[in-house]
Structure 1
Amino acid sequence: MIRAATPADVPVIHALIRELAEYEKCVDQARASEEQLREALFGARPAAYAHLAVDDASGEPVGLALWFLNFSTWRGVHGIYLEDLYVRPSARGGGHGRALLTELARICVERGYGRLEWAVLNWNRPAIGFYESLGARPQDEWTVYRLTDEALEKLGGPAA
């Protein structure tokens, strides 16, 4: 079962994000607090949205899709950018990842959004194989760039 997250889900969302960071060997970079997630997802001006995959038998969340809207200037419509997709190892192979992506694709179609996009680590061959089995294709001609921490402060700080 897939359902939209509620404010009561923030602790489990936080835990799933931490588990994903451990899987991706980047737990030191996962600094978001439960308070930050609560504000981003359920504050006065939500910046992101979350859906949970829930185990039918136990009712416990086993997967997460955390996403936000982007905009295509070429298409002139919104799209969804999937920031995090994670299914607990014990629940993998049960269709939860596919169900989460299906729900996001359904939202795109229903709302007239033109794209569903995400990034995947190059070494994550199981995820890449899964995504390609759904018809997703890599955007090899694009390279993601990122400014964080000191570089971001240097460029955007008061002395810039």
Structure 2
Amino acid sequence: MSTTVYVALGANLNEPVQQIQDAVLALKKIALDAIVNVSPLYRSVPMGDVEQPDYVNGVARFNTDLAPIALLDALQAIENTQGRVREIRWGPRTLDLDILLYGTQIIDEPRLSVPHYGMKQRSFVLIPLADINQQLILPCSTELKSLITREMRAELIQI
């Protein structure tokens, strides 16, 4: 059975735009029909207190027949292939791939929470998500466009 998923894309080390482009190519290998829709990319200020370069962020949408944990494993394999090291929470990274939405499912497992726990407050997620599907309604019945503020739009720079 096919499920539409939305995945956040982020990188701030080792040529971040190229890291995301390489990740999209890898996503095409796990997407049904090798079709991946990708938002424009944005530059954003890092979260947390760790000194690091700005991020490049976007969102990808594709259909998959992978179960949620299998998709998580596939995304983490892509991150690892591209040199992801998990040392510091909210630290710099070559690539970060997070499952934002898995169809309309709400998932709460030790390794995976969907919808992604912080997506409603993060401009670098909401804006690219709206670029792909402005009419999206989240599993909690919230309209995506109702979450986006003028201030959020001002935080990001499209690249």
Of structures 1 and 2, the one scoring higher in RCO (CA 8 A, sep 6+) is: 2
TM-score, normalized by length of structure 2? 0.34
The TM-score normalised by the length of structure 1 is 0.34
